[in-house]
Amino acid sequence: MIHSDTGTLPGGHPYASVGDGPRALVVMPGFGDAMFSGRYPPFSGLAIAPYFARYLDDYRVYVLSRPRELPPGYDEGDAVESHARAFEPIADSHDGVDAIGISMGGLIAQALARREPDPIDRLVIANSACRLDDDARSAVRQFERYAREGDWASIRSKLAAAMFSDGRAMAYPPVLQTIGRFVQPRPAEPADVWRSLEFILEFDGCDRLEAIDQPTLVFSGERDPYFTAELARETAAGLPNGQLELVAGAKHGAFHERKATFDSRVREFLERPYSTVLER
C-alpha cells in the first residue's frame, strides 16, 4: 500500500504527504492556504494521491502549508526562516528535493531558493512571478478589506472568476456566495488571511532573480490577472537557468484547469538530468 502521512513539521508547518519515491516533491500552496483550519485529517495523503498520481513513482509528494498565527508584519524573512526549518527533515529523508510554488507559494519558493538554496534542486513557479502586477493591487487590497470583515465567500468567489477560463468562472461565484457561505472552511486564524495578502503586496524579487541558481520553470496562464504574461516573461528571462511555459487562454488557475498540460511539462522538466536542464 502506498505510504501517506499527515502532521506538523518544524516551524509549525502542517503537511500531508503521499508516495514512496526516493526524492521529495514539496508543493507550496497559494494564498488560499490561509483560509482553512491548517489541520490535515488522517488519510489526507491518500485523498491527494490521485491529484499527484503522475509524480508518485519517483517522488514522495508533500503539500506543505504555512503555519497558523502568522506574526504581524509577516515578511520574506519570516517565511524563509520557517520554511527552511520545515525542509530540513524532508531533505534528510530523501535523495533530493524539488519544489513547486503556486501563486503566493511561488513567491516564498523564490525567496527560499535565493536565501537558503541547499534543500531545493529544481524549482517550478506556477501562476506566480517575481512580483504582483501593478493593475492587480487594487483587487488584492479589496481582498484584504473582505478579510478584515470576515467575508470569506466574497474572496473565494472573486478568486474563482480570476482562476478559471471556462464555465466555472461564471458558475462558481454565485454558488460560493450562497451555499458556499455555509459549507466552505473558515480560517483557523483570520489575521493570517490579511497578513498573507500584505505579504503578496509587499513582495518584489524582480531585482534579485539572478541569485536563484536552480533550474526553474515558470508556468503561467496567458490571461492571469495577478501575475501577468509580461511578468512571467520577465521572471523567466531574469533567472540564470529559467524556462517559461505560457498556456494560451488560461488564467490564474492554469496549473489546475490545464492540469494535463501542467503535469506533462513539469514531468518533462523534472525528468531531465540536472546538467541537461542547466544547458537548455
Domains by residue range for the chain, with CATH: 4-133+198-279 (3.40.50.1820)
Confidence band of 169 (pLDDT split at 50, 70, 90): confident
Low-confidence winner among 79-93, 158-172, 203-217, 220-234 (lowest mean pLDDT): 158-172
What predicted TM-score, i.e. pTM, was given to this entire model? 0.94
**What is the tens place of the pLDDT at every residue in 25-55?**
999 999 999 999 888 998 899 999 999 999 9
Q: What is the mean pLDDT of the chain?
A: 94
Encode the chain in three state secondary structure: CCCEEEEEECCCEEEEEECCCCEEEEEECCHHHHHCCCCCCCCHHHHHCCCCHHHCCCEEEEEECCCCCCCCCCCHHHHHHHHHHHHHHHHHHCCCEEEEEECHHHHHHHHHHHHCCCCCCEEEEECCCCECCHHHHHHHHHHHHHHHHCCHHHHHHHHHHHHCCCCHHHHHHHHHHCCHHHHCCCCCCHHHHHHHHHHHHHCECHHHHHHCCCCEEEEEECCCCCCCHHHHHHHHHHCCCEEEEEECCCCCCHHHHCHHHHHHHHHHHHHCCHHHHHHC
**What is the tens place of the pLDDT at every residue in 217-270?**
999 999 999 999 999 999 999 999 999 999 999 999 999 999 999 999 999 999
> In percent, how much of the chain has pLDDT > 70?
96
* Predicted pLDDT at 274: 55
Confidence band of 279 (pLDDT split at 50, 70, 90): very low
